[in-house]
């Protein structure tokens, strides 16, 4: 199984709502990532978890709150978002964040398309 799954596929939320995005992988990977992607732009890294601990936070606003409950699951909690936060949110995983070569290969999920109204 080389799949990263993300739910929901689409999400529309108001600026006062609280919602969560979910990501799951069963490849035994110990590194998981959240990216934000605007149309026709490359993915921008938001957070990295390594062995269930937050290792990189790319100065993301606190209205985005990541959580890694176990090695297979990654959540992104959303609260008080702005319309400019509308984007495709991608989750990815890799074997680790260290080592050589193949350890770094990231497997991407299909993304959650978020619209903030």
Partner 1 sequence: AQSVSQHNHHVILSEAASLELGCNYSYGGTVNLFWYVQYPGQHLQLLLKYFSGDPLVKGIKGFEAEFIKSKFSFNLRKPSVQWSDTAEYFCAVTANSGNTPLVFGKGTRLSVIA
Give the residues lining the site for partner 1 (CB under 8 A).
33, 40-43, 45, 48, 50, 55-56, 88, 90, 97-102, 104-111
Measure the CA–CA gap between 83 and 55, rounded to whole angstroms: 28
DSSP letter for 101, please: G
Residues sharing a CB contact under 8 Å with residue 61, sequence separation 6 or more, in sequence order: none
For residue 56, cis peptide bond before it (omega within 30 degrees of 0): no
């Amino acid at each position: 199984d080389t799949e990263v799954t993300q739910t929901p596929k689409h999400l529309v939320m108001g600026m006062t709502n609280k919602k969560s995005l979910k990501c799951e992988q069963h490849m035994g990977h110990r590194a998981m990532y959240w990216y934000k992607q605007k149309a026709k732009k490359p993915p921008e890294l938001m957070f990295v978890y390594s062995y269930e601990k937050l290792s990189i936070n790319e100065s993301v606003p606190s209205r985005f709150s990541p959580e890694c409950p176990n090695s297979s699951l990654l959540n992104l909690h959303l609260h008080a978002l702005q319309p400019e936060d509308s984007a495709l949110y991608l989750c990815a995983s890799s074997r680790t964040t260290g080592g050589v070569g193949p350890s770094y290969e990231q497997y991407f999920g299909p993304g959650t398309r978020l619209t903030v109204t």
